[in-house]
Amino acid sequence: MILHEKEFRAPVVKGQRDLLSYFPSHIQAQLDEGDIPIRFALTATTEDEYHYEIGLLTGQKEGRFKSSPSIFQFAQRRVENTEHFNVVLVVPTGIGAEIGGHD
């Protein structure tokens, strides 16, 4: 299995108000079969384009790694186990209020 990053650009859709539904479909169209996205970072915007990076796992053997259907999907745990837990730090970047920034 290999972990690597790819950079992409997506056209800005005028009047688009829901970036969390826009990016998953754009990302999926850019990936090769078997690529598993595990990280998304919107790095810049221009008048015409969004610039973003995707962290990918590739070359996995069948059935060795399960991923959620989308890195943008929130799946609440049914049982809370506070002995071990993951932490996420969201840093506002000023790009796209829907994903942690501010306009």
15-65: per-residue pLDDT in tens? 877 887 888 888 888 888 888 888 888 899 898 999 999 888 887 766 555
Q: Which pLDDT score, from 0 to 100, does residue 3 have?
A: 84
User: Which residues partner with 55 through β-bridges?
Assistant: 5, 39
16 φ, ψ (degrees, to nearest 5): -65, 125
Q: Are 7 and 52 in contact (CB under 8 A)?
A: yes
Q: Which pLDDT score, from 0 to 100, does residue 28 have?
A: 83
CA distance 45 to 16: 14
